[in-house]
Structure 1
């Protein structure tokens, strides 16, 4: 049995990961600012950020999933929250691990494919060294740099670069809503790439990294077949038995979401090179199968 310390454990990905880890008899310690809002379970313990280090058991792995949501209009205040929440929590964990007499075997730090910047033409893998030059790329670069301090402590460090995660929470409900409301269609010209991954594959790839001593550095959490926006929306419309007819102008998206709109109107083609290299078996490599499974769950 392993003891795993998680930040962001009450969020979308964190809840799924905690459920899987505890089902496999591991004990999860969830760092939260509001531990009194939660009830401890047999293998889940909620602890405050000021929990005494001396009262922690041996921690075998640390997983950082905390960070202010990217969703919403990117005002200066929102951008500050996105940046600070990631840097401060990651630095907190670095400082915590420095104080631990026995260091964890692994540190998995949340990251994003936003590292690569936006492109309609380029293909990105973990071998891509150059980062993008937009706001999110800058955030992710600094985020990973902060997390890299764990490497100097001899801790195997993984940067989980998440694509768009499809599940019952997160981006997917917002993506399906216009289609469900008979207003589905491509965004802009629809040519932008969507690098997606099913939530179950996120959890399984996280475990794969946790228990595979050979994996370190950046790992792209994306399915092996990115799809264009127009293809994604058309596939979803077919599954929901809704029309695919009403395009959304890119200018409207930018007006509503500010700079965040670029994530939707530009996109990027990201392949999970390291997962494929180590023969990770995706449960949902195909978009149609992933969407059908999600819709069965929603119904």
Structure 2
């Protein structure tokens, strides 16, 4: 399979590309600086200026590009978070339209932030209404932009990622207080964390590639979310550190501004489509997922 990929040099993108190569798929990675990367037998780095007609038949397109959510959310940062997702997706759709043969499937990144925040509600792909905060607006606009692929007759999916756990990404940031012997719940600890091991995240994306009956939103989360207080307690146990010092929400807000909602707020998200289609999670439970990450 020939796969056109954006965000291929990021945390999830690199892991996805590596897994695709084990299946002998070839990735064509769209990047602003292809000259900074070395092509291999299974990866080709190209820019948006590359002539689409010179590519072989592209069977699938996966869009994972976007400005990192980490960093103080100034108005400039928030605009960059939104613009990077919308503009990249628009450029990608324009590139797809120029391909001699349209791909069979388009998978566009999104996030569980689509649902908004709640300590009480349970969300699945059947939840039709988005939330009413910054991340909800971003993901809603991102998915609407990506839906242009549906208008072209392409099977389109919106992968709503939870917190992807691995050596990179959010986990090093989350585990730092624990490693410094200052680990404990954040805020009241009641906020839900919908998480997934990087291995399961990658395999679920590929599962969606291979199952033509799956379309629309897909929650890329493990089936057993945890409240923050339980998550941090298990993390401390795995790292063999004490769990004792709660971090007040106002302190997090002073340090991180509006971005603190990624830490102090959350949502309980169920991967209903993955479960309905019998996707097999390698790490459905948090403790086993964390043990695997810190053992490897």
Superimposed CA distance per residue, residues 213-242 of structure 1 (whole angstroms, 9 cap, x where no aligned partner):
000000000000000000011011111111
1:247 match: secondary structure:
coil
Task: Give the number of aligned pairs.
Answer: 296
Q: Quote how far apart the aligned CAs of 1:49 are.
A: 1.7
In 2, the alpha carbon distance for the partners of 1:133 and 1:260 equals 15
Give 2:91's aligned residue.
92
Asked if the contact 2:48/2:95 (under 8 Å) is kept, the reply is no
Give 2:294's aligned residue.
295
Is 1:154 the counterpart of 2:157 in the alignment? no
In 1, the alpha carbon distance for the partners of 2:19 and 2:240 equals 33
Question: Structure 1 residues 234-243 or 107-116, which shifts more?
Answer: 234-243
Q: Quote how far apart the aligned CAs of 1:65 are.
A: 0.4
1:165 match: secondary structure:
strand
2:48 match: secondary structure:
coil
Give 1:190's aligned residue.
189
In 2, the alpha carbon distance for the partners of 1:282 and 1:272 equals 11
- Structure 1: unaligned runs, 5 residues or longer: none
Asked if the contact 2:106/2:156 (under 8 Å) is kept, the reply is yes
Is 1:236 the counterpart of 2:235 in the alignment? yes
After superposition, the CA RMSD in angstroms is 0.7
Give 2:169's aligned residue.
170
In 1, the alpha carbon distance for the partners of 2:158 and 2:281 equals 19
- Structure 2: unaligned runs, 5 residues or longer: none
Asked if the contact 2:72/2:256 (under 8 Å) is kept, the reply is yes
Give 2:137's aligned residue.
138
Runs of 4+ in 1 over 3 A off after TM superposition: none
Give 2:80's aligned residue.
81
In 2, the alpha carbon distance for the partners of 1:119 and 1:105 equals 36
Give 2:117's aligned residue.
118
1:57 match: secondary structure:
coil
